[in-house]
Chains A and B, each alone.
Chain A
Amino acid sequence: MKKHPFLISFLVVLLLMSCQTSKTFYGTTYSNLEATKNVYRLDLSSYQKEIDLSEFSELRMLNLSNVGSLARLTTILNTIPNPDQLEVLLLNNNQLKTLPSSLLRFKALKQLSLHKNPNLDLKAAFMDLSSIKLEFLSLQENQLSQVPKEIGLLRTLKEINLSQNNLSETNFFDDLAELPELQSLWLRNNGITVLNTSLSKLSQLVHLYLEHNQLKELPNNLKGLKSLRVLHLSFNQFEELPENLQNIPKLILLHIDHCYIQTIPHTFGPKTTSIKGLVMNANALSSEDLKKWKLIFKNNFLLIF
């Protein structure tokens, strides 16, 4: 009787250590080329010497940020002997205008990060990437003011991070609505004052992050956000908790802290909203209101006022 639980425990731990998640994300991240065997994660963003990856056959994650020219990146990526293993690739801050053609070797690539490549031809990049089953794309700090409609070609995309750009117009929701798998959208720090009403077309979206914008209100027609469960609106300009949040049918978790909220509409309550986790500290509610609303939402699983 005593042996079995011990055995199960060790098997559980062994399983966890050897699983794919462990190899791709939890293993040691090497920052030079001295070891080659069992290297799953390699960060060469600060590596100054010649890069030849022909000995690295197990790579799951590769960071080639700050490496330099397109020609150099193309050559490096071509040296990788087992391209079907690579799942995560970071090419931040490389002044790319086009994507390295050798990128298309990585058919199993799930995550691609292209921060700080403001001259990148996104239209061409999206067309190139449409042949890869990409799940996550990060385009932060690219001075984007538009998102090409070719984004709709990335049919397997689950998460896209468009934070720290100049996307104040938010007129690209129609194109994002074409992405059937899209679950998470980041639009932090984009100077957004008003959200385009086509936001409601993102019926597939589960997580929406809109922190550090200048939002004072939300569009009226939020019923279309049929799958949205998590909404982050912290560090905006709201003075009242938007009443139309109650129209989002499955919203569970709302972060709306660090705004200027002085009032919560009296219509809010456990019966009128699906929200079960509420984070709204650092607002401007009076102490009486704080007491009142804490009591009203007392059965929330998470409550931070």
Chain B
Amino acid sequence: MGHQFLKIIFFLIVSKGFTQNLNYDGAVTLDVKITLGNQNRFCQLGISAFGISNYHKIALEGGISVYTGYLFKKHSLHSKGFIGGYDVFYLLGYGQNNNLLGSSLSQYNNVILYDHQHRNAFYGIGFGFEKQFLPAYLDEFEQRIGRFMMRFASNHHSLGFSFKNDFKIGGLFYGDATDFGATGSLYINYSNAKSSEEIHQVGFALELFTPQPDYGRIANHQMNSDDGRKNVWHTIGLHKNTFYANSYLSYKLQQNSMVYQLNTGVESHKLGAYIQNKLHDGFGLNPRYPWNVAQNNGVYLQGEVQTFINSL
């Protein structure tokens, strides 16, 4: 299992008997975050830990976040209630990762850690998984989501790539093997740490969300079927008409103990259909999903404010 990597990371971090070539570092963050957007509205209280270790040019890094909070809107659906969740990730790579910028890959925690005393390069790949517990009205979308990541960093620059999906591939890509809900996402972020107190990040994201397919019916929905040429699921569940595909740019500013993030972009069923159809038609994952391809595009807008303390 991929989780063994985590054990290795923590073993290396806490190990006292290693040689002097072993470096390790880490920090813990406590934070409060408010998110307001046209698809999501919630507040959260969380704690995150991020650690690195390297031995010569072999480096490991990983993070874990747990949080709880109160929800007002999620996946464009209004619902009130308590939420909770966790997010775990780890990377193995070449180089040295002492400056802690790998923390920029945390999915929940917006706080980026930066230790300005180290200016090294790091190139790594890794995996992660996350799960969110939602109020009963939304609990059909509680699947565990798997994650594949890459990070390329030099000095105070870090470029991160994350692909998330609910599929399961071996023991490494650790989704729930369902193919619905937050079924596929892509995040590309560039972080630039000017100092420990001032960090900028720009990013691009794609997020796809679909309801549950109805396995009790033949996949002959007409919508998004290319006029009857392709198989398309009917959908089922309390939110069987909830689809979205967000394509947005993000900008994050971290200053002192505050983080501000703004995501702006489009919500487009056409885009969702185009991307998911390519995957489902080409890779053999058909049927498709009944995206309303005639629907006009909308605006996606979300802002986040976070305050934190950490152990650095």
Residue positions of A touching B, CB distance < 8 A: 1-2, 5-6, 8-9, 12-13, 16-17, 21-22, 24-29, 61, 63, 88, 90, 111, 113, 136, 138, 159, 161, 188, 206-207, 209, 211-212, 229-230, 232, 234-235, 252-253, 255, 257-258, 277, 279, 281-282, 298-304
Contacts of B248 on A, CB cut-off 8 Å?
9
**In the complex, residue of chain A having the shortest beta-carbon distance to the beta carbon of B146:** A301
Whether the pair A26, B204 counts as a contact (CB closer than 8 A) is no
Contacts of B218 on A, CB cut-off 8 Å?
188, 211-212, 234-235
Whether the pair B216, A282 counts as a contact (CB closer than 8 A) is yes
Whether the pair A303, B177 counts as a contact (CB closer than 8 A) is yes
Whether the pair B251, A2 counts as a contact (CB closer than 8 A) is yes
Q: How far is the CB of B69 from chain A (nearest CB, A)?
A: 29
User: Bound complex: CA of A299 vs CA of B274, how far in Å?
Assistant: 28
User: Bound complex: CA of A6 vs CA of B177, how far in Å?
Assistant: 34
Partner of A207, one of B178, B179, B228, B286: B286
Partner of B270, one of A9, A17, A303: A17
Whether the pair B284, A252 counts as a contact (CB closer than 8 A) is yes
User: Bound complex: CA of A220 vs CA of B255, how far in Å?
Assistant: 68
User: Bound complex: CA of A270 vs CA of B170, how far in Å?
Assistant: 11
**In the complex, residue of chain A having the shortest beta-carbon distance to the beta carbon of B294:** A28
Whether the pair A25, B293 counts as a contact (CB closer than 8 A) is yes
Ordered by A's residue number, 21 sampled pairs between the chains whose C-beta atoms are within 8 Å are A1-B190, A5-B202, A5-B204, A9-B265, A13-B266, A13-B268, A16-B274, A26-B270, A26-B273, A26-B294, A111-B226, A138-B228, A159-B229, A207-B286, A209-B231, A253-B285, A255-B215, A282-B216, A299-B171, A301-B173, A301-B177
Whether the pair B284, A229 counts as a contact (CB closer than 8 A) is yes
**In the complex, residue of chain A having the shortest beta-carbon distance to the beta carbon of B271:** A16
Contacts of B270 on A, CB cut-off 8 Å?
16-17, 22, 26
Contacts of A9 on B, CB cut-off 8 Å?
204, 247-249, 265
User: Other CB < 8 Å A-B pairs besides A1-B202, A12-B247, A26-B274, 8 of them?
Assistant: A5-B202, A16-B270, A25-B224, A207-B286, A209-B231, A257-B215, A281-B215, A301-B169
> Which has the most chain A C-beta neighbours within 10 Å: B216, B273, B284?
B284
User: Bound complex: CA of A253 vs CA of B167, how far in Å?
Assistant: 13
Whether the pair A279, B215 counts as a contact (CB closer than 8 A) is yes
